[in-house]
Amino acid sequence: MNRALLVLVLLAGAKSAAADPLIFHNGRLFVQAKVNNVPTEALLDSGAEGTIVDPRLAVKAKLPEGRAQVIKGSGGSAAARIVEGVTIEALGVVLHPEAVVVLDMTDLSTRLIKRPTQVVLGRELFDAARLQIDIARNSIRVVDKARIPAGLKLPLTGHAGIEAIPVLANGVEALAEFDLGNGSDVMISRDLANKLRLKILGKKVGGGIGGSIERDFVSLGTLEIAGRKFRDVTATIDDQPSHSDMNVGTAILKNFLIATDFKDRAVWLAPIGSSH
Q: Phi, psi (5° rounding) for residue 244?
A: -90, -175
What is the spatial distance between Cα 22 and Cα 221, in angstroms, rounded to a whole number?
32
Q: Is residue 64 in a domain?
A: yes
What is the spatial distance between Cα 172 and Cα 159, in angstroms, rounded to a whole number?
19
Domain residues for the domain of 24 are 3-142
What is the separation, in whole angstroms, between the first and last Cα of the chain?
50
Instruction: Say which CATH number the domain at 239 has.
Output: 2.40.70.10
CB 175 within 8 A of CB 166: yes
138 and 190, same domain (yes or no): no
Which helix H or strand E contains 36, and what residues bound it?
Answer: none
72 and 192, same domain (yes or no): no
pTM of the prediction? Answer: 0.87
Which of 108, 142, 176 delimits the end of a domain? 142
What is the spatial distance between Cα 121 and Cα 135, in angstroms, rounded to a whole number?
17
Task: Encode pLDDT of 208-241 as tens digits.
Answer: 565 567 899 999 999 999 999 999 999 999 888 7
245 and 211, same domain (yes or no): yes
126 and 172, same domain (yes or no): no
Task: Encode pLDDT of 146-181 as tens digits.
Answer: 999 999 999 999 988 899 999 999 999 999 999 999
